[in-house]
A = this chain, B = another copy of it.
Amino acid sequence: MLASNPAPALLPLALLATGKALPSRCVSSAALDLQFGHAPGYVLHKSGIHQRHYASATENQAELAAAALRDAMARGGIRPGSIDLLLSTSGVPDQALPAMSCRILEPAGLAAGTPAFDVNASCLGFLAALQMAAGLLASGAYKRIAITACDLASRGIDWADPEASLIFGDGAAAVIIEAGQPGTSEQGILMQRFETHPAGKHMCQVRAGGTARNPRNGVVPQDYLFAMQGRAVFKFVAGLLDGFVQRLFSGSGRGLDDIDLIVPHQASHLSMQHLRKRLNVPLSRVMDIYASHGNQVCASIPTALHEALDSGRARRGSRVLMLGSAAGVTLGGMVLAL
Complex CA–CA separation, A206 to B212 (angstroms): 15
Question: Does A173 interact with chain B (Cβ within 8 Å)?
Answer: no
Q: How many residues of A contact B (CB 8 A)?
A: 78
Q: Do A116 and B152 touch (CB < 8 A)?
A: no
Majority secondary structure, A binding face = mixed
Complex CA–CA separation, A140 to B38 (angstroms): 53
Question: Does A205 interact with chain B (Cβ within 8 Å)?
Answer: yes
User: Which of A28-36, A196-204, A267-275 is near enough to bind chain B?
Assistant: A196-204
Indicate which residue in B95, B137, B332 contacts A212 across the interface (CB closer than 8 Å): B95
Closest to A84 in B: B194
Q: Chain B CB within 10 Å — which of A156, A212, A332 has the most?
A: A212
Q: Please, could you name 11 A-B residue pairs with CB atoms under 8 Å apart, sorted by A?
A: A91-B97, A92-B96, A92-B97, A95-B207, A97-B122, A97-B205, A98-B328, A99-B120, A99-B328, A155-B214, A208-B209
Complex CA–CA separation, A101 to B201 (angstroms): 10
Complex CA–CA separation, A330 to B155 (angstroms): 28
Q: Do A156 and B214 touch (CB < 8 A)?
A: yes
Indicate which residue in B105, B118, B139, B198 contacts A198 across the interface (CB closer than 8 Å): B105
Indicate which residue in B102, B211, B332 contacts A93 across the interface (CB closer than 8 Å): B211
Q: Do A210 and B209 touch (CB < 8 A)?
A: yes
Residues of B within 8 A of A211 (CB): 55, 61, 92-94, 152, 155-156
Q: Chain B CB within 10 Å — which of A197, A198, A210, A216 has the most?
A: A210
Residues of B within 8 A of A103 (CB): 198, 201
Complex CA–CA separation, A194 to B102 (angstroms): 12
Q: Do B155 and A113 touch (CB < 8 A)?
A: no
In the complex, how many angstroms separate the beta carbon of A187 from the nearest chain B beta carbon?
A: 15
> Which residues of chain A in 96-114 are interfacial with respect to chain B, using CB atoms and an 8 Å cutoff?
96-103, 105-106, 112-114
Q: Chain B CB within 10 Å — which of A120, A128, A195 has the most?
A: A120
Residues of B within 8 A of A120 (CB): 93, 99, 117-120
Q: Do A192 and B117 touch (CB < 8 A)?
A: no
Complex CA–CA separation, A94 to B206 (angstroms): 10
